[in-house]
Structure 1
Amino acid sequence: MLQILTHDILPVFSMLALGFLLGRTAKVSREEAGAVNRVAFLILQPALIFPLISALDWSAFRFEALAAYAGAQVLLFGLAFTVCRVLFKRELLEAWLLAMAVIFVNTLLYIWPISFLIYGEAAALPVTAIVAWDSAISFAFFIVTTDLMANRGGGPGPAMKRIVSNPVLIAIALGLVVNLLGLTVPEPVLTAMGFAGAGAAPLTLFALGVILSSHALMPTRLIGTVAMLKLLAFPALVAGTVWLVAAPTDWQTLFTLTAAGPSGAMAFSLALLYRVRTDSIAPVIIWTSLLSLLSLAWLA
């Protein structure tokens, strides 16, 4: 457990921690981090996502396990949204994004590289399946729905224009087209994307750390409730649903490991993009990132 923590988990977490430290000591400004995050979102993340989606071997996936994972996401999202909206009286978009933080794990930029370090590429197939699901479906769903809710009354035309020009959604769509049609991506293109995509996770985590460093860490009832739903309820629910569909043991283990990961940074990024208050979303990401270190090492 200790070796997994020190050799596989902390090296990935270190980029987030380094960004937080340099942000707190004013060595890197929020504006500089915002520029880095924009480059990562516009160029590096699409370069990481497209080869992943385009090369997926769908026949190797256990779709009953993925369906169980998705079902757990839907159930807990509904509960978390109701708690934030009704019990804590949060505005619609903030409650929506807080609920997203409960069920949307930082799979692509955090759990995926950690699983490769621990298990290797072949053994991490279940995590790759969740990365594909979250990248192609969950990610796109929250981008589209948040945009539509934030711009209610703006008409379908402008909303569609924003959606179809989103670089991450373009990468997802193109990857699916290439995959389903069986097209071959030229090797130089894959090499260029591999070179660029390798920087997506460290730069995004670093920029996130800098931006989060400007937020208070003091937990509140809301922050504690959302964090516990994320770190306790979601892994338990995923473990139960995946067990019910009799998925192979390695898929049960790695699905539970993934569900125990920290809240995905996209909830915070969407809050910044649509000017939703972040005084609760940011601490949720920070606390789940810190508290998940030991739980991930134990589960792995």
Structure 2
Amino acid sequence: MNSPVFASLIPVVLFIAIGFLSGNRGWIRAGSVKDLSNLVFMVLTPALLFRTMSSVHLGDVDFAPIAAYFAAAGLVFGGTMLLLGFTSLAAARALANMFSNTVMIGVPLVGLVFGEAGLVTLFTLISLHALILLTAATVVFELAAARERAGTPGHEGRSMLRTVLMAVRNGIVHPIPLPIIAGLLYAQTGLPISLVIDKPLELLGQALGPLALLLVGVTLAFTTVGSHFRAALRIALVKCLVHPVAMAAVGWAMGLKGMPLAVMVVAASLPVGANVFLFSQRYEVAQDEVTASVAVSTALALITMPVVIVLVTRFLV
């Protein structure tokens, strides 16, 4: 066994377990989860993203693994739609099948296993992840919803262009892509960050991993799976197993190798991201199923991610 890999994974499992226990015992109340989530997304995450990307030059960034990732995600999404049909429900399940939790779990996990070099690759993906995948998903959802509304009295059609432009805007003006873009722009100036600013950013970034993982566990404690377990398990199996296999296959076909490919395969193995629930809520489809799939895929990923990481570190890195 690769002991450094398991040494990196132990804190991930431990923090999620502590968070689950804290929520289950009532030490953290359900009403506090949103506030903790805002702290992670609005303060800690931007600090880490900006500081890491502020020393990266665009000429050193390899976009080939990112292209392979989106190709693999497209295969999973398109394959799901082909199997289930062109409906809003199929779109919700397809999005859940390929949209990863790249921030809450991906950032601390990749940071522990691959270090800062791995984080640069992951942050490059994150800068485009929501923008490209959620914009494409918006188009599919709108087309499917329009098809379902066709001929229904009392429903006015939505402007496709306006909806897509709004999705693009929301994908850019967001606390995740913005600090990455700002950090890259600052890096191109060649100026170092003042120590007075750099040290607080470093401390905030160091707090992200533990708090984000604790928050995942707390969220799991307040999530009820219930009668949607089977549907959630199907999504979880595709997300945690089929998606990384598709990523590895596409990467191999494109001639990719080394740590960048390993990071992309690990990113594909991550559980379902919370943005999928926001889409299902907006389009009022499969809300309970998607919520359950986030919980089930996170629990399943605690078993599958170590296997994926051991395989990629042994054969790709």
Q: TM-score, normalised by structure 1?
A: 0.77
Partner of 2:264: 255
Equivalent in 85, 88, 98 of residue 103 of structure 1: 98
How has the CA–CA distance of structure 1 residues 192 and 293 changed in structure 2, closer, same or farther, with 3 Å as cutoff? same
Identity %, equivalent residues: 23
Tell me the alpha carbon deviations over residues 1-45 of structure 1, each in whole angstroms, 9 at most, x when there is no partner. 484575221312333332222222322111112111112222112
* 5+ long unaligned stretches in structure 1: none
Aligned to 1:171: 179
Question: Alpha carbons of 1:208 and 1:251: their partners in 2 closer, same or farther (altered >3 Å)?
Answer: closer
1:206 matched to 2:214 = yes
Compute the displacement of 1:159 (Å): 5.1
Instruction: Tell me whether 1:113 sits opposite 2:121 in the alignment.
Output: no
Runs of at least 5 residues in structure 2 that lack an aligned partner in the other structure: 143-157, 311-317
User: Which residue is equivalent to 2:19?
Assistant: 19
> 1:284 and 2:293 equivalent?
yes
Give the greater-gyration-radius structure (CA): 2
Asked if the contact 1:212–1:282 (Cα under 8 Å) also holds between the matched residues in 2, the reply is no
Q: Give the length in aligned residue pairs.
A: 290
What value does the CA root-mean-square deviation take over the aligned residues? 3.7
- What is the CA distance between 1:74 and its match in structure 2? 2.0
Alignment match, 1:191: 199
Going from structure 1 to structure 2, the CA distance change for 1:215 and 1:295 (only over 3 Å counts) comes to: closer
Aligned counterparts, 1:60-79, within 5 A:
60-79=60-79
Q: Distance in 2 between matches of 1:278 and 1:20?
A: 22
**Distance in 1 of aligned mates of 2:307 and 2:38:** 34
Match of 2:127 in 1: 136
Quote how far apart the aligned CAs of 1:208 are.
3.4
Q: Matched residues in 1 for 2:269 and 2:178: separation?
A: 29
Residue pair 1:265, 1:285 contacting (<8 A) in 2 also: yes
- Distance in 1 (CA, whole Å) between partners of 2:259 and 2:181 is 30
Distance in 2 between residues matched to 1:272 and 1:188, nearest whole Å: 42
CA-to-partner distance for each residue in 1:39-75, whole Å, 9 max, x for gaps?
Answer: 2222112112222333324444443332222211222
The aligned residue for residue 225 of structure 1 is: 234
Counterpart contact for 2:127–2:176, Cα < 8 Å: no
Note closer, same or farther for the CA distance 1:202–1:273 as it changes in structure 2 (3 Å cut): farther
Q: TM-score normalized by structure 2? A: 0.73
